[in-house]
Amino acid sequence: MLVLVIEDETDLAATVEYNLRAAGYQTRVAHTGRDGLAAATATPVPDLVVLDLMLPDTSGVEICRRLREQDATRHVPVIMCTAKGEEIDRVVGFEVGADDYVVKPFSVRELTLRVGALLRRSHRAEDEPAIVRFGRLRIDRDAHRSWVDDVEVALTALEFRLLFTFMSRRGRVQSRDALLSDVWGIEADVTTRTVDTHVKRLREKLGEAGAYIETLRGVGYRFRDNPDEAG
């Protein structure tokens, strides 16, 4: 996985690069908007771009727009690095089209986690089939519908995302923090308590199939590896 970092503060760019490499990513770094655009379209095209909003020549907003205009880079996920008070809703909205953002000063660890989450989300979209079955459960990830024993369960968009995340990582422990970053994504005003509330509601809606989601006290949750596993 190749991550392009476009950031004019050279110390910050070096720290981000160091941490991404430590996490196993290949990196490419550019210190101006102009170089960044060239680096974004150079072969191989990066799998993700970490983009500073305030650059000396071209703004991050303009770079993001141009990436979205070109076929080669249209689907490359972008994480925007913004300063507090910048128009975050515009940045991540349709107008600019970034996929996520971090506010400066950000923790490099948080940025690295978000890079991982975004890469997982974008690759999952290409690789996995639309219909996923597990015991009595069936979900259609494209239509965002779910069934238990062929009876449709009405889930909110968020509950659906939560269920889908669980099902795609069955057998693996999901910490509340990981769920927050992957399911809630950019919304910062939720706490790990919110995760518990939504898992509880999801379980209730799923009825007996809710038992597929196990609580690991003090750790998080785990979706069973096998539907017939004893609860």
- Residues lying near Ca ion in the complex (CB under 5 A) are found at 8, 52, 54
Count other C-beta atoms under 10 Å from residue 209's C-beta: 21
> What sign does the CA torsion over 33, 18, 103, 70 have?
positive
Least Å from the CB of residue 100 to Ca ion = 18
Rounded to whole angstroms, what are the CA distances from 192 to 12, 138, 197, 204, 222?
A: 29, 27, 9, 19, 15
Least Å from the CB of residue 12 to Ca ion = 8
* Side-chain half-sphere exposure of 160, counting CA atoms within 13 A: 17
Q: Which is nearer to Ca ion, 47 or 52 (CB)?
A: 52
Report residue 165 as tokens.
Answer: 């995340």
Q: Which is nearer to Ca ion, 52 or 182 (CB)?
A: 52
Least Å from the CB of residue 8 to Ca ion = 5
- In whole angstroms, what is the distance from residue 30 CA to residue 32 CA? 6
> What sign does the CA torsion over 124, 141, 189, 93 have?
positive
17 Cβ neighbours under 8 A, 6+ residues apart: 5, 27, 29
Look-up: residue for tokens 């990196």? 27
Contact 40, 46 (CB under 8 A): yes
Q: Which is nearer to Ca ion, 59 or 194 (CB)?
A: 59
Q: Which is nearer to Ca ion, 88 or 180 (CB)?
A: 88
Q: Which is nearer to Ca ion, 8 or 86 (CB)?
A: 8
Q: Which is nearer to Ca ion, 7 or 100 (CB)?
A: 7
Least Å from the CB of residue 80 to Ca ion = 11
Least Å from the CB of residue 1 to Ca ion = 24
Indicate the residue whose CB is closest to Ca ion: 54
Least Å from the CB of residue 110 to Ca ion = 18
Alpha helices in 23-70 (DSSP H): 33-41, 60-69
